[in-house]
A and B are shown apart, each in its own frame.
Chain A
Amino acid sequence: MTFSPALEERFAKLLTSYPAGRTRSAVVPMLLYAQDELGWVSRELIEEVARRTGVTAVQVDEVIGYYSMLRRHPIGKHLVQVCTNICCMVVGGQDLFEHASKTLGVGHKGTTTDGLFTLEEVECMGACSWAPAIQVGYDFHHQVTPERFDRLIEGLRNAEAETRKV
């Protein structure tokens, strides 16, 4: 399995970042970086990471089962995560999630038919001071109201339409 040159370079660096004989430490970062590039963790990727880090595939499987941020299935282009934990909830997090669900037309872990968005209800993302918070990909959005949420989605949809036109 081959990756982009940038990712290959990252992998090469990772394998030398740990004490000798501890290449298994690279399993989690490798999976995360590869997931960013591929969108999900495929069987092929599991075998590849196992091979490169010198562990068995089942040990990589264990890691994926443990960390919820590693996904075994492809998702939409943008992962929209809405926090409904206590701090966000008391200032409308739950309503925001329901609103998001309505706007996108999908429920928890659902992907829109155009393949653009996947919605997820998540636990605390450490942005309690700016609740309610959501995360789109790696970007945080603070004090999100239903209106701001819609504008954000609209913006992403338009941006996508632009790129398709080109």
Chain B
Amino acid sequence: MADLVTFTIDGRQVQAAPRTLLITAAKQAGIEIPAFCYYDGFSLQAACRMCLVEIEKTPKLQVACTTPVTEGMVVRTDSPQVAAARKGMLELLLTNHPLDCPVCDKGGECELQDMVFRYGAGESRFVETKQHVDERQWSPVVFYDKPRCILCYRCVRVCDEGLGVGALGVGDRGSASEIIPNRGDHLECDECGACIDICPVGALTSGTYRYQTRPWEMDHVGTICTFCSNGCKTTLGVRNGEITRANNRDKSGVNGEFLCVKGRYGFDFNHHPERLTAPLVRVNGKLAPASWAQALATVGKKFAEVKQRGGKFGVIGSNHTTNEENYYLQNFARQALGTSNIDHRRTGDVATLIDALHGHAGALATTADLYTTPAALIIGSDLSQQHPFLAWQLRANFRHHQAKVFAITSGPIREDRYAAKTMRAAEGEELTAVESFREHLAQQKSLVILFGDSIKGDAVRKLVAFGDSLGIPVSYVPLVDYSNSRGASDMGVLPDLLPGYHGVREAGLEPGLAYDAILSATDLDALYVVQENPFAKTPLASTGAFVVVQDLFLTETAERADVVLPAASAYEKAGTVTNVCGEVQKLKAGAKTMGAKTDLEIMGLISKEMGVSIGIWKHDTVFAEVRKSVPGYNVALPVVETGGAAPTFPVNGRVPLEDRPDLISSDRNTLFLSGTLGRYSKMLTSVLEYPGKLYGQPVETELEMKEAQNT
């Protein structure tokens, strides 16, 4: 490292790395220099002039956000001249800014408001009438109130640089300047709302949150987004048990402040009017509301009866429930029900990768690695659509560290624009295509390979062999679809594997029926489905089976059930989930839905009804057991408990799995789709882009597919 530069700030001698910007160096020294336009991680703008400081031997005040520190520099950030300059800047910013803080969404957490309080520029010498322009709606998500805008360009930069969308610009000039959307009068973009979040004032407001509440009236609950597998922390603003917004302004979690449209706006499924609030029991062929006691007794009695006569069970687990619930579920299946017929819908081939990686240390990349790796290879995934946070990490890595990104996909992707090399290859032919990158890849210091569902079974082994042959350190990310797809696999919601990828034969069991076989078996006596909607695509062959479904909504599967139990959503419970990179993070209950119970509690109560004990149904008790008994999950508790992400290291040995690549298939969700759950978010379904495009092609929704089947 180059020698540190010594400079003086407010009479204190401090050191910083050469070329550090004054604003950053001051921050490191514990001195805050206010700024609106400067934003860590994005290009410099020097537009707001709030960061003016006094530098000795420089005649005028200088902007700290673009001035690098130099040896012997003497800076003052607290002189009367600086304070006067800031006050003056604020007065100018307030020229046309309405003083509608009492009704403004931003009031209470507004950077401009804070600054005006601090520098006392509340009174203005301007006597002219303020220019007024009516507020405009650009999409169901984004509203723009021009007079409030201070033209800091943060939204323009986050959209262009951070998201790679570039949907916003600045139109006109002088006092007529305003932010403009890319389609004249409306936006066509990712609808991620990053522009709203990053706005220092209330110029950009959110369709769901606007005029709903005030920041100080909410509880701020940091939990993990329940949609895709990226495991972004989303801080729910909860008022009276109802979620009114989701953002991550405190930059906690692996994602920093990043959230996509699902994380920021998809939460409205939670208070969808169709949420189930009471158990339903089929009486005379019709589902009728029943009490929990009745419903549980019905289930318990039937399950016990089927078990006693040696009947055939099927259990389908979820991609959204917690690790504790998945662990408990496979215990429930194997011990309480005595069946190995347990599976979940597999969206990526994690098990084969872990098997193929036996003997490799540290070969699973974390989300943080994506920001630091010198090179990355994307295979078979429209990353920006399917894994928006991973795409954000790579984009930031390219921006800040000039990472080399390679991609092999079946169609155009957003990464093409900055990738070192991209190539089109049909699904299944990616591994042949990757050979042409060999030379370039082998030149990199290290590499992270992210692969989608087209690489499965044998292809995963071949890919690992290819990685080994490069002669550089290679780590992998097996892309899976949902918030706990990875956890379902790790926790042994599989017919042939126990938690931690132990073969069932180790426990003296025989592998049971897999997902497709459970659905196609004609002699099933009872089917237990936890937060999954298998019948949306495949009907149940066993027409006489007793079906129990736990879900949030009356899905196609629940409609066929004999007993439907209302389950709590991920935003209503505690527990842990494992993201696509194998990082364990903790959920925190924010909202409440009357009548719903967590899946863990329901499973516990059913086993109690059956008269069997499979342990306490408290998430921390189960998590303690998971930490003890699942290899790789002995994660640092302080990390998880404080809301951090603990990486898991799976077994470093062979996995005795049955290769079933035919079972692995991603749902191909775009930014605006999320299997069945996404259908219940009004915000997701109301945006113009719904259901969106993968590889530049429109995507069929689950609903459309079903309609097509019916006709």
Does A136 sit at the interface, judged by CB under 8 A? no
Which A residues are CB-close (under 8 A) to B160?
Answer: 56
Which B residues are CB-close (under 8 A) to A66?
Answer: 172-173
Does B241 sit at the interface, judged by CB under 8 A? no
Which A residues are CB-close (under 8 A) to B173?
Answer: 65-66
CB distance from A60 to the nearest CB of B (A): 9
Does A62 sit at the interface, judged by CB under 8 A? yes
Which B residues are CB-close (under 8 A) to A65?
Answer: 170-173, 180
**Interface residues as binary, A38-76 with B (CB distance below 8 Å gives 1, 0 otherwise):** 000001000000000000111101100110000000000
**In whole angstroms, what is the CA distance A43 to B183 when docked?**
10
Does B555 sit at the interface, judged by CB under 8 A? no
**Interface residues as binary, B147-180 with A (CB distance below 8 Å gives 1, 0 otherwise):** 0000000000000100000111111110000001
Interface size of A by CB at 8 A reads 9
For the residues of A in contact with B, the DSSP-based class is helix
**In whole angstroms, what is the CA distance A59 to B182 when docked?**
9
B180–A61 CB distance below 8 A: yes
B172–A58 CB distance below 8 A: no
**Interface residues as binary, B63-88 with A (CB distance below 8 Å gives 1, 0 otherwise):** 00000000000000000000000000
Which B residues are CB-close (under 8 A) to A57?
Answer: 182
A61–B166 CB distance below 8 A: no
Minimum CB distance partner of A60 in chain B = B169
Which A residues are CB-close (under 8 A) to B575?
Answer: none
CB distance from B571 to the nearest CB of A (A): 35
**In whole angstroms, what is the CA distance A62 to B166 when docked?**
12
**In whole angstroms, what is the CA distance A59 to B153 when docked?**
13
B166–A59 CB distance below 8 A: yes
Which A residues are CB-close (under 8 A) to B566?
Answer: none
Which A residues are CB-close (under 8 A) to B166?
Answer: 56, 58-59
Does B467 sit at the interface, judged by CB under 8 A? no
Q: How large is the interface on B (under 10, 10 to 19, 20 to 34, 35 or more residues)?
A: 10 to 19
CB distance from A28 to the nearest CB of B (A): 14
Does B181 sit at the interface, judged by CB under 8 A? yes
Minimum CB distance partner of B181 in chain A = A58
Which A residues are CB-close (under 8 A) to B184?
Answer: 43
**Interface residues as binary, A58-102 with B (CB distance below 8 Å gives 1, 0 otherwise):** 110110011000000000000000000000000000000000000
Q: Max chain A CB contacts within 10 Å: which of B160, B167, B171, B180?
A: B171
CB distance from A48 to the nearest CB of B (A): 16
CB distance from B100 to the nearest CB of A (A): 26
Which A residues are CB-close (under 8 A) to B181?
Answer: 58
B182–A62 CB distance below 8 A: no
Minimum CB distance partner of B184 in chain A = A43
Minimum CB distance partner of B170 in chain A = A62
CB distance from B412 to the nearest CB of A (A): 14
CB distance from B214 to the nearest CB of A (A): 33
B182–A56 CB distance below 8 A: yes
**Interface residues as binary, B443-457 with A (CB distance below 8 Å gives 1, 0 otherwise):** 000000000000000
Which B residues are CB-close (under 8 A) to A61?
Answer: 169, 171, 180
CB distance from B654 to the nearest CB of A (A): 49
Minimum CB distance partner of A58 in chain B = B169
Which A residues are CB-close (under 8 A) to B172?
Answer: 65-66
CB distance from A73 to the nearest CB of B (A): 14
CB distance from A76 to the nearest CB of B (A): 24
Which B residues are CB-close (under 8 A) to A58?
Answer: 166-169, 180-182
**Interface residues as binary, A9-32 with B (CB distance below 8 Å gives 1, 0 otherwise):** 000000000000000000000000
Minimum CB distance partner of A46 in chain B = B184
**In whole angstroms, what is the CA distance A166 to B180 when docked?**
47
**In whole angstroms, what is the CA distance A93 to B166 when docked?**
44
Minimum CB distance partner of B176 in chain A = A65
**In whole angstroms, what is the CA distance A58 to B166 when docked?**
8
| B601-646 interface with A by 8 A CB criterion | none
**In whole angstroms, what is the CA distance A43 to B185 when docked?**
13
Which A residues are CB-close (under 8 A) to B167?
Answer: 56, 58
Minimum CB distance partner of B417 in chain A = A54
Minimum CB distance partner of B166 in chain A = A56
**In whole angstroms, what is the CA distance A93 to B160 when docked?**
45
Which B residues are CB-close (under 8 A) to A43?
Answer: 184
| B179-198 interface with A by 8 A CB criterion | 180-182, 184
| A121-155 interface with B by 8 A CB criterion | none
**In whole angstroms, what is the CA distance A59 to B168 when docked?**
8
CB distance from B414 to the nearest CB of A (A): 13
CB distance from B195 to the nearest CB of A (A): 13
Q: Max chain B CB contacts within 10 Å: which of A56, A58, A65?
A: A58
Minimum CB distance partner of B187 in chain A = A58
Which A residues are CB-close (under 8 A) to B182?
Answer: 56-58
**In whole angstroms, what is the CA distance A94 to B642 when docked?**
72
**In whole angstroms, what is the CA distance A140 to B281 when docked?**
88
CB distance from B118 to the nearest CB of A (A): 33
**In whole angstroms, what is the CA distance A53 to B492 when docked?**
53
CB distance from A139 to the nearest CB of B (A): 28
| B329-358 interface with A by 8 A CB criterion | none
Which A residues are CB-close (under 8 A) to B169?
Answer: 56, 58-59, 61-62
Minimum CB distance partner of A55 in chain B = B166
CB distance from A118 to the nearest CB of B (A): 20
CB distance from A10 to the nearest CB of B (A): 26
Which A residues are CB-close (under 8 A) to B171?
Answer: 61-62, 65
CB distance from B324 to the nearest CB of A (A): 46
**In whole angstroms, what is the CA distance A27 to B173 when docked?**
18
CB distance from A146 to the nearest CB of B (A): 33
**In whole angstroms, what is the CA distance A65 to B181 when docked?**
13
Minimum CB distance partner of B174 in chain A = A66
**In whole angstroms, what is the CA distance A59 to B161 when docked?**
13
**In whole angstroms, what is the CA distance A65 to B174 when docked?**
10
**In whole angstroms, what is the CA distance A59 to B157 when docked?**
12
Minimum CB distance partner of A54 in chain B = B417
CB distance from A20 to the nearest CB of B (A): 16
Which A residues are CB-close (under 8 A) to B170?
Answer: 62, 65
CB distance from B173 to the nearest CB of A (A): 5
**In whole angstroms, what is the CA distance A152 to B61 when docked?**
53
CB distance from B47 to the nearest CB of A (A): 14
**In whole angstroms, what is the CA distance A61 to B170 when docked?**
8
**In whole angstroms, what is the CA distance A58 to B170 when docked?**
8
CB distance from B403 to the nearest CB of A (A): 18
24 residue pairs bridging A and B, Cβ less than 8 Å apart = A43-B184, A56-B160, A56-B166, A56-B167, A57-B182, A58-B166, A58-B167, A58-B169, A58-B180, A58-B181, A58-B182, A59-B166, A59-B169, A61-B171, A62-B169, A62-B171, A62-B180, A65-B170, A65-B171, A65-B172, A65-B173, A65-B180, A66-B172, A66-B173
- Other A-B pairs, 19, CB within 8 Å; known A56-B166, A62-B169: A43-B184, A56-B167, A56-B169, A56-B182, A57-B182, A58-B166, A58-B168, A58-B169, A58-B181, A58-B182, A59-B166, A61-B171, A61-B180, A62-B170, A65-B170, A65-B171, A65-B172, A65-B180, A66-B172
Residues in chain B within 8 A of chain A (CB atoms): 160, 166-173, 180-182, 184
Residues in chain A within 8 A of chain B (CB atoms): 43, 56-59, 61-62, 65-66
Q: Across chains A and B, which 9 residue pairs bring their CB atoms closest together, nearest first?
A: A58-B169, A65-B171, A65-B172, A58-B182, A62-B169, A56-B166, A66-B173, A62-B170, A61-B169
